[in-house]
Amino acid sequence: MYGPRDAPQQASPYATGSSPRPTVPPRPIQEMPQPYQQQPPPPSAPPIYPSAVGPAPRIAPASSAERRDLQASRELKTVNFPRAVLMRFLSIASVNTAKNRETCGLLLGKPKGSKFVVTTLLIPKQHSTSDTCTMDEEELVLEFTESRSLITLGWANSYPSDSVMYVLSLGCFMSSVDLHTHSGFQRMLPESFAVVCAPQHTPTFGIFRLTDPPGLQTILKCDQTNAFHPHPEMPIYTDADKGHVQMKEMPLEIVDLR
């Protein structure tokens, strides 16, 4: 749903990496080796911006205690997430990974009672480099979601071995570009989450969301024009899979528009 990555920053909680771009206004993965510009996201599929292009400090994820406190103020609906997404997405991304290119995907689904259910992994048309991924012909995504009455519940991104993340052995985290990209998704739907995959690292994936508060508000108010930049030392993001996202053995549809 996404050049070098941000270097880690030992600080307080939260930062997540992946390859889509600015926070506030995720515009559907579009070309942008330039600094992101905040623009209102499209109604169905928020943008996915390229990964970072230059080392920048990283903020550590929120601790377990902080996650409980931060989430207590706003009850999120549970999102059932097919466990198969992780391995299937890594498999789909493997061709690009071998060519040292990023891959992005959108996680679509529907409300089901008091929950949300991810039903579809959609791979949009895209072009990428080792540190960027740009979605092409986003109108095809809108047509697909509207024809199936699906909503975008999250997005996924996979880093190749030549990514700065690997060079610095950073593993799975959210870069400043990822934070800005995801803020657009989460602004439209509080339950939105990001899946960051690092196939040649351990762990191979991370599932994140911005804290709310203070992460979402901090990123939405950020007016820095540099694509890669540090953010205040605070719990900006947290592990969604230890919160409202619940991985389960359930059916998964995979649609590749490339």
Q: At 116, which CATH number?
A: 3.40.140.10
In a domain, 89, yes or no: yes
Give the tens place of pLDDT for each residue, 103-156: 999 999 999 999 999 999 999 999 998 877 889 999 999 999 999 999 999 999
In a domain, 27, yes or no: no
In a domain, 237, yes or no: yes
Answer for the pair 2, 163: CB distance below 8 angstroms, yes or no: no
Residue type, 101: R
In a domain, 168, yes or no: yes
Reading the block at residue 87, the tokens are 């391995």
Segment (H or E) for 105: strand 103-112
In a domain, 57, yes or no: no
Q: Quote the pTM value.
A: 0.71
Answer for the pair 194, 16: CB distance below 8 angstroms, yes or no: yes
In a domain, 37, yes or no: no
In a domain, 149, yes or no: yes
In a domain, 231, yes or no: yes
Reading the block at residue 144, the tokens are 């697909």
Reading the block at residue 61, the tokens are 């994820």
For 76, the domain range is 64-256
Give the tens place of pLDDT for each residue, 199-221: 777 778 899 999 999 999 999 99
* Alpha carbon distance 2, 20 (integer Å): 2
Structural domain count of the chain: 1
